[in-house]
Structure 1
Amino acid sequence: MKILIYGINFSPELTGTGKYSGEMAYWLANAGQEVRVITAPPYYPEWSVHENFSSYKFRKEEGAVITYRCPLYVPSSLSLLKRLFHLTSFALSSLLPLIRQKTWKPDCIICIAPTLFCVPGMLLLSKWCNAKSILHIQDYEIDAMLGLEMVKKGFFSRLATAYERWCLTNVNLVSTISKSMMKKAIDKGVPEDNVFFFPNWSEIERFKFIDEESVIQLRRELNIEVGKKVILYAGNIGQKQGLETVIDVAQVMTDSIFLFVGEGGGKEKLERLSREKKLENILFKPLQPYEKLPVLLKLADCHLVIQRRGAADAVLPSKLTNILAVGGNAVITADEQTELGQLCLQEPGIAICVPPESSAQLALGIKQSLGLPKLNLKAQAYANEFLDKESILARYLNILKNI
Structure 2
Amino acid sequence: MKILMISLNYAPEVSGIGKYSSELAEWFAKRGHTVRVITASPYYPGWRIQEGYSARRYSTEALNDVSVMRVPFWCPRRPSGIKRLIHLMSFAIAAVPRALAQIRWRPDLVWFVEPPLFASPLALLTARASGALCWLHIQDYEIDAAFNLGMLKGDGLQRLCLKVERALLTRVDGVSTPSAAMTQRAASKGVADDKLCLVPNWVDTANIRPLGRTSAYRGRLGIDESAIVVLYAGNLGAKQGLELLPEAAQLLLHRRDIVFVICGNGPAREHLKAQAAGLPNIKLIGLQSNKRFNELMGLADIHVLPQRADAADLVMPSKLGAMLSSERPVVATAAEHTELWNIVHAVGVVTEPGSAAAMSQAIARLADDPALRERLGALGRGYATTHLSREKILTAFESRVVIDLRKKRGIPDRVIT
Question: Which interval holds the TM-score relative to the shorter structure?
Answer: over 0.9
Cα distance in structure 1, aligned partners of 2:154 and 2:76: 25
Cα distance in structure 2, aligned partners of 1:158 and 1:76: 29
Deviation at 1:219, TM superposition (A): 1.1
Q: Structure 1 runs of 4+ off > 4 angstroms?
A: none
SS at match of 1:310: helix
Cα distance in structure 2, aligned partners of 1:89 and 1:223: 44
Deviations 1:29-81 (A, max 9, x none): 00010110000011111111111111111111135111100111111112111
How many matched pairs? Answer: 396
Match of 2:115 in 1: 114
Does the Cα contact within 8 Å between 1:301 and 1:328 map onto a contact in 2?
Answer: yes
Matched, 1:362 2:359: yes
Could you tell me which amino acid in structure 2 is paired with residue 141 of structure 1?
E
Match of 1:264 in 2: 266
Does the Cα contact within 8 Å between 1:148 and 1:309 map onto a contact in 2?
Answer: no
RMSD: 1.3
Matched, 1:239 2:241: no
Residues 2-401 of structure 1 correspond to what in structure 2 (within 5 A)? 2-62=2-62, 64-213=65-214, 215=215, 217-254=216-253, 255=256, 256-275=258-277, 278-345=278-345, 347=346, 350-370=347-367, 371-373=369-371, 374-375=373-374, 376-401=377-402
Could you tell me which amino acid in structure 2 is paired with residue 219 of structure 1?
R
Cα distance in structure 2, aligned partners of 1:136 and 1:207: 24
Does the Cα contact within 8 Å between 2:177 and 2:198 map onto a contact in 1?
Answer: yes
Does the Cα contact within 8 Å between 1:147 and 1:309 map onto a contact in 2?
Answer: no
Identify the range of structure 1 (245-254 vs 96-105) with the bigger mean alpha-carbon deviation: 245-254
Deviation at 1:372, TM superposition (A): 4.2
Deviation at 1:146, TM superposition (A): 2.0
- After superposition, the Cα gap between the structure-2 partners of 1:53 and 1:164, relative to the gap in structure 1 and judged at 3 Å, is same
Cα distance in structure 1, aligned partners of 2:240 and 2:62: 37
Cα distance in structure 2, aligned partners of 1:42 and 1:195: 30
Could you tell me which amino acid in structure 1 is paired with residue 287 of structure 2?
L
Cα distance in structure 1, aligned partners of 2:61 and 2:111: 19
Match of 2:415 in 1: none
SS at match of 2:239: coil
Could you tell me which amino acid in structure 2 is paired with residue 273 of structure 1?
Q
Cα distance in structure 1, aligned partners of 2:303 and 2:362: 11
Deviations 1:285-312 (A, max 9, x none): 0111111111111111111111111102
SS at match of 2:393: helix
Cα distance in structure 1, aligned partners of 2:166 and 2:338: 21
Deviation at 1:209, TM superposition (A): 4.8
Deviation at 1:362, TM superposition (A): 1.2
SS at match of 2:200: coil
Could you tell me which amino acid in structure 2 is paired with residue 286 of structure 1?
G
Match of 2:410 in 1: none
Deviations 1:238-260 (A, max 9, x none): 11112112111111212221111
Could you tell me which amino acid in structure 1 is paired with residue 359 of structure 2?
L
Unaligned runs of 5+ in 1: none
Could you tell me which amino acid in structure 2 is paired with residue 155 of structure 1?
G
Cα distance in structure 1, aligned partners of 2:171 and 2:389: 31
Does the Cα contact within 8 Å between 2:78 and 2:267 map onto a contact in 1?
Answer: yes
Could you tell me which amino acid in structure 2 is paired with residue 87 of structure 1?
L
SS at match of 1:204: coil
Does the Cα contact within 8 Å between 1:331 and 1:369 map onto a contact in 2?
Answer: no
Deviations 1:185-214 (A, max 9, x none): 00111111110111111111113352515x
Does the Cα contact within 8 Å between 1:58 and 1:69 map onto a contact in 2?
Answer: yes
Does the Cα contact within 8 Å between 1:352 and 1:369 map onto a contact in 2?
Answer: no
Cα distance in structure 2, aligned partners of 1:209 and 1:259: 19
SS at match of 1:332: strand
Deviation at 1:218, TM superposition (A): 1.9
Deviation at 1:226, TM superposition (A): 3.7
Unaligned runs of 5+ in 2: 405-417
Deviation at 1:162, TM superposition (A): 1.2
Cα distance in structure 1, aligned partners of 2:397 and 2:97: 28
Deviations 1:14-35 (A, max 9, x none): 1011001000001100001011
SS at match of 2:207: helix
Cα distance in structure 1, aligned partners of 2:47 and 2:185: 29
Does the Cα contact within 8 Å between 2:261 and 2:283 map onto a contact in 1?
Answer: yes
Cα distance in structure 2, aligned partners of 1:388 and 1:22: 16
Deviation at 1:177, TM superposition (A): 0.5
Deviations 1:144-193 (A, max 9, x none): 11221222241111111112111211101100100011100001111111
